[in-house]
Amino acid sequence: MYKISKLKNKMTLITVPLKGTKATTVLVLVPVGSRYEHKKISGVSHFVEHMMFKGTLKRPDAQVISRILDASGADYNAFTSKDYTGYYVKIDSTKQAIAFDLIADMIYNSKMEAVEIEKEKGVIVEELRMYEDNPTMGIGLLYDNIIFGDCPLGWDEGGSEETVRGITREELFNYYQAAYKTENMVLVVAGNVDKKLKQHLKHFLSSDSEKNKSKTLIKKNNFEKFVWPTSKLPLEQRVAVKEKKLDQSHVIFGFPGIALNHPDRYAMSVLLNILGGGMSSRLFVEVREKRGLAYMVRTGSSNYRDVGTSYIQAGLDPKRLGEAVKVIKEELQKICDTAVTEKELKDAKSNISGRTTLHMEDCSSQAEWFAKQFWMMDKIMTYEQVLQKIKAVTVKDVQRMAKKIFDWSEVRVAVIGNVKKEEVINLFK
């Protein structure tokens, strides 16, 4: 059973002991991401994440940090989303002291040297180009922009080449000082939790770093709330096309969805699973198996504290794009008009339960689950409690959500491929 406590420096600690594992994950989550940025410093949260690995007062460069972790056989990384930034080390539990020491040192004592900052700008720009050149990844960025527009939710978490190259050392360090406060952070220890935990925690209690002297604090939820347009947008403003010479058209069809804490989120999960959650799902069968229109077709959702979106993603034959649009539209209309079967409902619930259970076998998944639950939800729920909510979803709930979400007159479309915007617009008229 998990336990929540506060350290003397106001950092939140969540311990999640797991039986039968020889691994331990130490994760720190800071509740700031690209939503907290303004245009000039777009990408700064992600930039700070990169700089955490570039050397501390105790470990002067990136090689020292990576050698220690590599020599221990650890799995380690960091991630930046629109809402938060996280750092984790998953390690042999007998070596977990290394994880506590290193993460605390990185979070508190990163040097952020000007020379390293300039060098890292090139690394980040190449990362942005990698995503841009990969249409499977780039389509998500294009979709975010068409559904959320020119606001932090619609921007790339990594920023743009222009903003990344323009960020100064002062801007980077000021943001770091304001966001990386102990009262802003949650530390999660999941897996084989050492009996020497109190001793390990001293690493997180010994900080007198320069940033802690700053009075500025970027607080959770201190971002501009997103509001959907009060009137329906014309089709031309709901379609985004990036022309690129590809053999395949990468497409996302999306709709305004629901916020992360909305009580209907469980029904939404079941609905999306029935539509595109696996190889026996409706869209997979109709689009791929019966017609051979795509190799990949799936459903998904992006949910934030105040807003959300649900979507269908596919890689399609450009010459048969019109046929694919017709089939997908028909399937969405069908699930709105006719209730799903009890068998479909049962199978979808079982699929969600099975996938979740397998995913949560990993201590890193457990750590991330509790960290996100703590910062993003109204209250912490275990995955077992969530599965009970999934189990309670009815056929009527699924159809009600389908009617609520899948309004074709509100569809947003993002396409990357050898096709023109006018051609795509004509398919939706």
Range of the domain at 44: 3-207
Q: From CA 106, how far away is CA 219, in angstroms rounded?
A: 21
At how many degrees (to 10) do helices 169-179 and 114-133 cross?
A: 90
Check whether residue 267 and residue 346 sit in a common domain: yes
Distance, CA of 425 to CA of 228 (rounded, Å): 22
How would you list the strands of the sheet with 75-80, edge to edge? 3-6, 12-17, 186-191, 23-30, 85-92, 75-80
261 and 380 assigned to the same domain: yes
Is the pLDDT at 215 greater than 60? The verdict is: no
Clarify whether residues 185 and 293 are in a common domain.
no
d(CA 251, CA 182): 42
What's the mean pLDDT in 191-197? 95
pLDDT at 226 over 90: no
Specify the pLDDT at position 207: 57
Q: Is residue 347 part of a domain?
A: yes
How do beta strands 12-17 and 23-30 pair?
unpaired
For position 269, what pLDDT does the model report? 98
- Residue 333 lies inside a defined structural domain of this protein: yes
For β-strands 239-243 and 412-417, DSSP reports them as parallel
pLDDT in tens, 308-348: 999 999 999 999 999 999 999 999 999 999 999 999 999 99
Report yes or no: 320 and 380 within 8 Å, Cβ to Cβ: no
Q: Are residues 169 and 282 in the same domain?
A: no
Residues 164 and 255 in one domain: no
- Residue type present at position 155: W
- The verdict on 297 and 371 lying in the same domain is yes
In whole angstroms, give the CA distance from residue 119 to residue 123: 7
What confidence tens digit (pLDDT) does each residue in 375-412 have?
Answer: 998 789 999 999 999 999 999 999 999 999 999 999 99
Is residue 410 in some structural domain?
yes
Instruction: Report the pLDDT value the prediction gives residue 224, as an integer from 0 to 100.
Output: 79
Q: Kindly state whether residues 190 and 287 are assigned to the same domain.
A: no
- Provide, rounded to the nearest whole percent, the portion of the chain with pLDDT above 90: 91
- Quote the longest CA-to-CA distance of the chain: 65
Q: What is the mean pLDDT of the chain?
A: 94
Whether 303 is in a domain gets the answer yes
Q: Is the residue at 222 inside a domain?
A: no
Mark 134-173 as b/e (b = at least 16 C-beta within 10 Å). ebeebbbbbbbbbbbeeebbbbbbbbebebbeebeeeebb
Average pLDDT over every residue of 58-67: 95
Say yes or no: 241 and 198 in one domain: no
CA geometry: angle at 269 spanning 366 and 349, to 5°?
85
Asked if the structure places residue 213 within a domain, the reply is: no
pLDDT of residue 209: 44
Query: Of 207, 224, 257, which residue constitutes the final position of a domain?
Result: 207
- Cα(235)–Cα(257) distance, integer angstroms: 18
In contact, 248 and 241? CB cutoff 8 Å? no
Compute the average pLDDT of residues 1-22.
96
> Residue range 155-161: average pLDDT?
97
194 & 268 share domain: no
Write the pLDDT tens digit of every residue in 92-117: 999 999 999 999 999 999 999 999 99
pLDDT value for 214: 55
Q: Are residues 195 and 254 in the same domain?
A: no
125 and 245 assigned to the same domain: no
pLDDT digits (tens, 9 = 90+) for 85-98: 999 999 999 999 99
- The CATH number of residue 297's host domain is 3.30.830.10
10 and 139 together in one domain:
yes
pLDDT band at 74 (very low <50, low <70, confident <90, very high): very high
Give the per-residue pLDDT at 210.
43
Q: How many domains does the chain have?
A: 2
Tell me if 9 is assigned to some domain: yes
- Using an 8 Å Cβ cutoff, are 127 and 160 in contact? no
Taking residues 276-282, report their average pLDDT: 97
- Reference 249, options 309, 301, 324, 330; nearest CA is 324
Query: Do the domain assignments include residue 394?
Result: yes
